[in-house]
Amino acid sequence: MTEPGPVRRIEVFTGAGRRRTWTAEDKARIVAESYSGLESVCAVARRYGLAQGQLFTWRREARKALAMIEAPFAPVVVEPAPVAAEKPLRKRPRRRSRGGIELEIDGVVVRVERGADAKTVAAVISALKAER
3-46 pLDDT, tens digit each: 777 777 877 767 666 678 899 999 999 999 999 888 999 999 99
What's the domain count of the chain? 2
For the chain, percent of residues with pLDDT exceeding 90: 25
In a domain, 19, yes or no: no
The reported pLDDT for the residue numbered 117 is: 77
Confidence tier at 118 by pLDDT (50, 70, 90): confident
Confidence tier at 70 by pLDDT (50, 70, 90): low
Domain hosting 122: range is 101-130
* Average pLDDT value for the chain: 77
Confidence tier at 69 by pLDDT (50, 70, 90): confident
In a domain, 1, yes or no: no
The dihedral built from the CA positions of residue 55, 46, 19 and 33, taken in this order, carries a sign that is: negative
Q: What is the pairing mode between strands 108-112 and 101-105? A: antiparallel
Residue 132 above 60 pLDDT? no
Higher-pLDDT residue of 64, 2: 64
Report pLDDT digits (tens) over 83-103.
665 555 666 666 555 567 777
In a domain, 109, yes or no: yes
In a domain, 45, yes or no: yes
In a domain, 29, yes or no: yes
Q: Which of 83, 116, 115, 90 is nearest to 104 (CA)?
A: 90
In a domain, 91, yes or no: no
In a domain, 74, yes or no: no
In a domain, 64, yes or no: yes
